[in-house]
Amino acid sequence: MIKTSLKICISAGESSGDAHAANLYLELKKQSPKLNASGMGGAKMAQVGISLCYDSSQIAVIGVAEVAKHYFEIRRALKIMQELLLNERPDLLICVDYKEFNYQLAKFAKQHGIKVLFYVSPQVWAWRKDRVKKYGAVIDMMAVIFPFETAYYETENVPVRYVGHPSVDKVIPRFTKAEALKNFSLNSDAPIIGLVAGSRANEIKRLLPVMLEAAEQLKIFFPNCQFIFPQADSLPDDLIQRYLNRATVNVKVIKNQPYDVMQCCDAIMSCSGTATLEIALLGIPMVICYRLNSLTYWLGKHLVKTRFIGLPNIIFGEQIVRELIQNDATAENLATEIKRLLTDSEAAQNCRADLEIVREKLGQGGGIQNMAALVLEMLKS
């Protein structure tokens, strides 16, 4: 039996986690209207009625150097969340991604007798498999979004449930491609190239300039080509315009319609991460670029054991999408790969066929519904 009045606490530290948490809460409210939630997150969580004690956009950073730079603010956010747990004593803490921060928060919750559900597993299959035991000691359940992840936890007797990837249900354009082209005033007879540079400020600073430089090179080869940029709501306008104002190419910026933007594209330059999976689900040929602070990259190179960084490649098991990492992530290399995808019809078609296999491997969807069922199961007395 579930109590008539329930309190949960949700901790999400990045844009994707903010979206996952918001969608989860909406699904939970359908089944348990009296449920209330508070915690840390972004605009999407606030919009659905979750009471936020901290805006996580202030600490949405990746990499050793970036985390070090924001160390004191991250510690302050952790302190605020710990105080929230002690004051509200929620029935369940749901940690959404944001691994190291949420590990510390989960550890604190466990020490104070609060049940913990961790949503989106650390990439134990890529590096530091010993983290399975580490996380297992501070959680009551790990909810994973890739089917191959369960084996890592089952081997160590850590409670785990495969719930499915939320993007399978989420990546649905609001309009048909023809409608989107019309809405965005795009010409279907000329190449349309997407610039998906990320949802974090440090990603934009590292990747957008090189993407814009590649766009300038592509404009010479394809004089009529069009460039489109889906702006995440976590990014301030002035940050984006700072770079666009310096570029010699025109880039159409569209807010809050990422999937309609993506489906219009003939090819996309993308940052690594969830965006690559969203593009894959829409079947759009892409090239992945990845740049980090030099120290962070050096450490990662010695620790990461996976062959690929792009989720479509990891899921497929082979490199079906080209990855341009660190020093290889140049404007010339980006432009060359996009040019290949636009001029070699066989290569583009092979890429689309492989991305369809990635989609099939992710299953039929229902990830948020499965996750909500798991939450309610854990809330039963």
Domain that holds residue 252: 177-361
Residues 5-27: tens digit of each pLDDT:
789 999 998 888 998 999 999 99
- Tell me the CATH number at 121: 3.40.50.2000
Residue 293 has pLDDT above 90, yes or no: no
The residue ranking higher by pLDDT, 184 or 292, is: 184
Overall average pLDDT of the 268-287 stretch: 95
Q: Position of tokens 């719930």? A: 163
* Residues 357, 372 within the same domain: no
Q: Is residue 136 part of a domain?
A: yes
Q: Is residue 171 part of a domain?
A: no
* Residues 11, 155 within the same domain: yes
Q: What is the pLDDT of residue 131?
A: 84
Distance, CA of 11 to CA of 95 (rounded, Å): 5
* Residues 154, 55 within the same domain: yes
Q: Is residue 170 part of a domain?
A: no
Enumerate the β-bridge partners of residue 10: 39, 94
Q: Is residue 146 part of a domain?
A: yes
Enumerate the β-bridge partners of residue 289: 271, 324
Q: What angle do CA 56, 62, 66 make, to 5 degrees?
A: 95
Task: Decide: residue 10, CB within 10 A, 0-12 exposed, 13-18 middle, 19+ buried.
Answer: buried
* Residues 142, 235 within the same domain: no
Overall average pLDDT of the 101-116 stretch: 97
* Residues 224, 158 within the same domain: no
* Residues 341, 256 within the same domain: yes
Number of domains in the chain: 2
Q: Is residue 67 part of a domain?
A: yes
* Residues 196, 311 within the same domain: yes
Q: Is residue 75 part of a domain?
A: yes
Q: What is the pLDDT of residue 10?
A: 98
Q: What is the pLDDT of residue 135?
A: 94
Side-chain half-sphere exposure of 155, counting CA atoms within 13 A: 12
Q: What is the pLDDT of residue 262?
A: 98
Distance, CA of 77 to CA of 71 (rounded, Å): 10
Distance, CA of 8 to CA of 5 (rounded, Å): 10
Distance, CA of 141 to CA of 139 (rounded, Å): 6
Q: What is the pLDDT of residue 224?
A: 96
Residue 296 has pLDDT above 60, yes or no: no
Q: Is residue 169 part of a domain?
A: no
pLDDT above 90 covers a percentage of the chain that reads 73
Side-chain half-sphere exposure of 201, counting CA atoms within 13 A: 14
Residue 197 has pLDDT above 60, yes or no: yes
Distance, CA of 288 to CA of 337 (rounded, Å): 10
Tell me the pTM: 0.79
* Residues 61, 203 within the same domain: no
- The contacts of residue 214 (CB under 8 Å, 6+ apart) are 269, 331, 332, 334, 335, 338
Confidence band, pLDDT 50/70/90 cuts, at residue 75: very high
DSSP state of 153: H
Q: Is residue 172 part of a domain?
A: no
Residues 297-313: tens digit of each pLDDT:
555 555 566 678 899 99
Residue 82 has pLDDT above 70, yes or no: yes
Overall average pLDDT of the 91-96 stretch: 98
| Whole-number average pLDDT of the chain | 91
